[in-house]
């Protein structure tokens, strides 16, 4: 449905050298799917979104929506943003304070060239207010809405134009933590029920994992990995992705024996030899980094029996923190510390011995020098 190909967008800078905000960005989004651009501030995700919307003019590349080219540097095509039929919701909702809820949503229809009839406008507005569950507040002043209601109002105003593509730029970042969590479910329900093709920009990895059908992780203007939320979390391809998405332990390692038929190899680490998951082709003596998520380290006071494909490491509880539904443990092995996560029922005191069991498939080998 949406195809973005080799998109490059630059900004002029005071020093004279252009700032390459988005570089060679390529991805496609099937109809009815939610695709997230995820990355830290300044990585190029908002620039990419604005380039798709037509609010920035890329230097090179192509943007195609349902076989319609809205930008092409090669063909000299640039469709103005108001002619692209995209809906966009920004970080600041830009609600018109002098209008009520109904008037806010109706306004985009009333100013379009081919203005619908009054009845058509009313029908469209009430239908979209129903979709965002604001129909009972149609007559309320926009300034008297809560933060979550204002966010839904901004969505309704974008949806009333029946856009081909919905573009969302950090729409939940102004909400408090509990409301943001609840609005994730609202957004996911709405996107699914209305079958909206959506591009979502966020720096919040939990938000991206919860909402997306597919995620593109960006860094320094480039996409470094595209995949499903589970792929991005469980099979990061480089250290940046593993570090940015969630919490992880990194172990520098050297390959002892190369890939076997089951996609595993044995590596040497400061914790001893470990069997790890090797999705890339590694050779003996290659250096790499092993990523192990804290929740994938199983803790026990008794040494467990080793099963093929599992790693057992003995250590000492260095510190622990109670966080309600789980405990964070720092486990010391020699002079090194690993972070592990366990159920609160595990009460091993600080200073006492403890054993860690790690499945090879959860120890992910990532290319990279020590």
Taking only the tens place, the pLDDT of each residue in 265-297 is 999 999 889 999 998 888 889 999 999 999 999
**pLDDT digit string, tens, across residues 107-124:** 888 877 778 888 999 998
**pLDDT digit string, tens, across residues 224-268:** 999 999 999 999 999 999 999 989 999 999 999 886 667 889 999
Question: For the chain, which residues make up each domain, given as ranges?
Answer: 2-242, 247-300+310-367
How far apart CA 331 and CA 370 sit, in angstroms, is 22
Neighbours of 344 (CB within 10 A): 11
pLDDT score of 260? 63
pLDDT score of 201? 95
More confident residue, 109 or 68: 68
pLDDT score of 162? 82
pLDDT score of 279? 84
User: In sequence order, what are the residues at sequence separation of 6 or more whose Cβ sits closer than 8 angstroms to the Cβ of residue 243?
Assistant: 250
Highest mean pLDDT among 26-30, 121-125, 171-175 belongs to 26-30
Full-prediction pTM beyond 0.85? yes
pLDDT score of 334? 86
- Fold held by 2-242: Rossmann fold (3.40.50)
Q: Which alpha helices (DSSP H) does 76-146 contain, by range?
A: 101-110, 118-131
pLDDT score of 173? 80
Q: Is the pLDDT of residue 370 over 60?
A: no
Percent of the chain with pLDDT over 90: 60
pLDDT score of 47? 95
Indicate the pLDDT class of residue 150, thresholds 50, 70 and 90.
confident
Average pLDDT, the chain: 90
Is 362 strand, coil or helix?
A: helix
Query: How would you classify the pairing of strands 165-169 and 198-202?
Result: parallel
Q: Is the pLDDT of residue 157 over 80?
A: yes
Task: Give the DSSP per-residue string, 154-211.
Answer: HHHHHHTT--SEEEEESTTTTS-HHHHHHHHHHHHHHHHHTT--EEEEES-HHHHHHH
247-300+310-367 maps to which CATH number?
Answer: 2.40.50.140
Helix (H) or strand (E) holding 363: strand 363-367
pLDDT score of 369? 55
């Amino acid at each position: 449905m949406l195809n973005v190909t080799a998109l490059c967008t630059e900004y002029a800078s005071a020093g004279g050298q252009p700032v390459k905000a988005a570089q060679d960005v390529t991805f496609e989004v099937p109809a009815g799917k939610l695709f997230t651009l995820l990355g830290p501030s300044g990585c190029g995700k908002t620039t990419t979104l604005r380039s798709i919307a037509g609010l920035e003019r890329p230097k090179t590349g192509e943007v195609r929506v349902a076989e319609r080219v809205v930008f092409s540097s090669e063909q000299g095509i640039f469709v103005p943003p108001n002619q692209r039929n995209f809906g966009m919701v920004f970080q600041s909702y830009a609600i018109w304070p002098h209008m009520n809820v109904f008037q806010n949503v109706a306004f985009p229809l009333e100013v379009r060239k081919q203005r619908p009839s009054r009845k058509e406008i009313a029908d469209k507005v009430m239908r979209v207010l129903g979709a965002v569950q604001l129909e009972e507040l149609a007559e309320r002043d926009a300034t008297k809405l809560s933060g979550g209601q204002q966010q839904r109002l901004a969505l309704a105003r974008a949806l009333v134009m029946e856009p081909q593509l919905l573009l969302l730029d950090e729409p939940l970042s102004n909400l408090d933590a509990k409301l943001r969590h609840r609005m994730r479910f609202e957004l996911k329900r709405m996107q699914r029920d209305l079958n909206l093709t959506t591009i979502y920009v966020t720096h919040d990895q939990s938000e991206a994992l919860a909402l997306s059908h597919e995620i593109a992780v960006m860094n320094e203007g480039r996409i470094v990995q595209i995949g499903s939320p589970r792929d991005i979390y469980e099979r990061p391809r480089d250290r940046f992705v593993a570090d940015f998405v969630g919490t992880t332990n990194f172990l520098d390692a050297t390959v002892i024996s190369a890939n076997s038929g089951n996609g595993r190899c044995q590596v040497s680490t400061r914790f001893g030899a470990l069997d790890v998951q090797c999705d890339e082709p590694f050779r003996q003596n290659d250096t790499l980094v092993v990523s192990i998520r804290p929740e994938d380290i199983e803790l026990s006071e008794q040494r467990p029996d080793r099963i093929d494909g599992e790693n057992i490491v003995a250590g000492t509880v260095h510190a622990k923190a109670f966080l309600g539904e789980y405990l964070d443990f720092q486990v010391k092995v020699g002079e090194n510390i690993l972070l592990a996560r366990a159920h609160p029922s595990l009460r091993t005191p600080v200073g006492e011995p403890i054993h860690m069991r790690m499945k090879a498939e959860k120890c992910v080998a990532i290319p990279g020098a020590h």
